Amino acid sequence: MAAKNRGSRILIYSHDTFGLGHLRRCRAIAHALVGEYSNLSVLILTGSPIIGSFDFRARVDFVRVPGVIKLRNGNYTSLSLYIDIEDTVRIRESIIHHTADVFEPDIFIVDKEPLGLRGEIENTLHMLKDRGTRLVLGLRDVLDEPELLRPEWDRKEAMPALENLYDEIWIYGHKDIYHPLSGLDPSDAVQAKTIFTGYLPRTLPEPEPLEHWPQIAEKPFVLVTTGGGGDGEGLIDWVLSTYETQKNLPLPALLVLGPFMSADHQVEFQARASLLDNVEVIVFHNRIEQLMARAQAVVAMGGYNTFCEALTLDKPTLIVPRMVPRKEQYLRAEKAHKLGLIRMLIDPQEAGTGQRDPAVMAAELVALMTQNKPSRAGYGNELLSGFEIVQRQVKPWLHRGRKTAKKDDEKDRVSRSAS
């Protein structure tokens, strides 16, 4: 049985096949929760290979499972181990299940994937549900186009999990921008357990000593960020070409390539930038929020976290959304552009409509200087109420014990496996 005076516990699962988005969202939620509840511990399950590069608040820790990466054909493969994906998933599933068994969370928050990567958390969900753990699925505002999401979720049997396993579904966004289950015809039961939290505002980490900052950040500059960078070379190339060919650009640029950008592209872009006196390139910064806070304006691809940061820090922002293989960034940026929150520019090469024109990017950089801040769009605190709502939702489920003992859970697991 659970020990007395154990404190409250929340377990967060992030499949993290690639990139930084899922990890950074989960980390932000964990920090907000321990900041609100002094007797709470949060443990993050993740496959991110760079989670150790981030700072964590007291009472937040992580367990790293073997990483995987999604190939262009949609299949997965092990990120570092020379073993097949089936064995990798079995190892991950075992670590996840054992961690949840020992940690005994009051609440289990699952990020994006209802049953985890290739169903790796399904048994854990059943175990925790039997114990009375509150099961929460957290979804970003946009997942994908409905015509693409529907067959994917049908194949993964995601909707039955929402119906039968989860107690709540949190959408980290605002209903005026997008509903991630739009077009999937969720049942009344699913809709009843769905809560729009608002976007997740970002708190600024402690700044590094001035000597650790990029030199260009000492004066007004434009921040160009690709997030994880695995698919950001198009944006970086376009901005660099603009600074190489266009005159009288309003501000110098700091380009953050992202840790997952290929080494060849990193070398190429750093070499090109070294020839320019108004461009500086870095690969990664673990306090990107501080860089954005110092910037006059932001150019970005438009992932969820960057969008939240631009709203929180109230920065004039130009989003050049990724168009393939998912239109998540485009769908978010298109609606945000119409609402006056950001500007949007389509990459013609990604869209298959032409070549990138440096003069077009130059005009957008000039327009950024007089663009309204997101706060001028007319939304109040409701747009960035994410942490307030999340903190409210978890409160009733902390310190409440479990319905069954571990030995009964084990019997139920064996019975399900036999059937």
Confidence band of 385 (pLDDT split at 50, 70, 90): very high
Match 């996840």 to its residue by tokens. Answer: 96
Domain 8-198+385-418, CATH number (from 3.30.365.10, 3.40.50.1370, 3.40.50.2000, 3.40.50.720): 3.40.50.2000
Q: Do residues 280 and 251 make contact, with C-beta atoms less than 8 angstroms apart? A: no
Q: Which amino acid is at 373?
A: K
Mean of pLDDT values over 163-187: 95
Closest of 231, 384, 252, 377 to residue 316, by C-alpha: 377
The per-residue pLDDT for 88 is: 92
The per-residue pLDDT for 412 is: 53
Q: Report the length, in residues, of the chain.
A: 419
Peptide bond into 325 cis (omega under 30): yes
| Structure-token pair, residue 296 | 């006059």
The per-residue pLDDT for 371 is: 97
Closest of 305, 283, 254, 223 to residue 20, by C-alpha: 305
**CB proximity list for 79: less than 8 A, separation 6 or greater:** 47, 49, 66, 67, 68, 69
The per-residue pLDDT for 331 is: 96
Residues 58-83 have pLDDT tens digits of 999 999 999 887 766 667 778 888 89
The per-residue pLDDT for 404 is: 42
Mean of pLDDT values over 221-235: 94
For residue 255, what is the enclosing H or E element?
A: strand 253-256
Closest of 371, 292, 360, 361 to residue 337, by C-alpha: 371
The per-residue pLDDT for 419 is: 46
Q: State how far Cα 71 lies from the chain centre.
A: 19
Q: Is 414's pLDDT higher than 60?
A: no
Distance, in Å, from the CA atom of 265 to the CA atom of 279, rounded to the nearest integer, reads: 16
Mean of pLDDT values over 316-324: 95
Residues 322-376 have pLDDT tens digits of 998 889 999 999 999 999 999 999 999 999 999 999 999 999 999 999 999 999 9
Q: Is 198's pLDDT higher than 80?
A: yes
Q: How far is CA 246 from CA 57, 108, 239, 281, in A?
A: 44, 51, 10, 18
| Structure-token pair, residue 372 | 């309204």
Cα dihedral value 154, 156, 157, 163, nearest 10: -110
Residues 30-49 have pLDDT tens digits of 999 999 999 999 999 999 88
Mean of pLDDT values over 109-116: 96
Q: Do 8-198+385-418 and 210-377 share a fold?
A: yes
**CB proximity list for 144: less than 8 A, separation 6 or greater:** 152, 326, 327, 328
Distance, in Å, from the CA atom of 334 to the CA atom of 321, rounded to the nearest integer, reads: 9
Tell me the torsion sign for CA atoms 90, 96, 100, 105: negative
Q: Do residues 12 and 109 make contact, with C-beta atoms less than 8 angstroms apart? A: yes
User: Percentage of residues in the chain with pLDDT exceeding 90?
Assistant: 74
Beta strand extents in 103-207 (DSSP E only): 107-111, 134-140, 168-172, 194-196
Q: How far is CA 387 from CA 25, 178, 198, in A?
A: 11, 19, 8
The per-residue pLDDT for 74 is: 61
Cα angle: 115, vertex 109, 106; to 5 degrees: 120
Cα angle: 300, vertex 17, 321; to 5 degrees: 20
The per-residue pLDDT for 213 is: 81
Q: How large is the angle between the packed helices 406-418 and 122-131, nearest 10 degrees?
A: 140
Q: Is 8's pLDDT higher than 50?
A: yes
Closest of 310, 362, 369, 366 to residue 336, by C-alpha: 310
Mean pLDDT of the chain: 91
Homologous superfamily of 210-377: Glycogen Phosphorylase B; (3.40.50.2000)
Match 């209802």 to its residue by tokens. Answer: 114
| Structure-token pair, residue 91 | 């190892």
| Structure-token pair, residue 399 | 């310190």
Distance, in Å, from the CA atom of 185 to the CA atom of 418, rounded to the nearest integer, reads: 33
Residue 56: count other Cβ atoms within 10 Å of its Cβ: 16
Residue 209: count other Cβ atoms within 10 Å of its Cβ: 6
The per-residue pLDDT for 402 is: 47
The per-residue pLDDT for 194 is: 98
Facing residues of 132 across strands?
none
Q: Is 413's pLDDT higher than 80?
A: no
Pairing of strands 76-78, 68-70: antiparallel
Q: Residue 121 carries which DSSP code?
A: T
Q: Do residues 260 and 22 make contact, with C-beta atoms less than 8 angstroms apart? A: no
Phi, psi (5° rounding) for residue 64?
-95, 125
Where do the structural domains in the chain lie, given as residue ranges? 8-198+385-418, 210-377
The per-residue pLDDT for 405 is: 42
**CB proximity list for 312: less than 8 A, separation 6 or greater:** 201, 202, 384
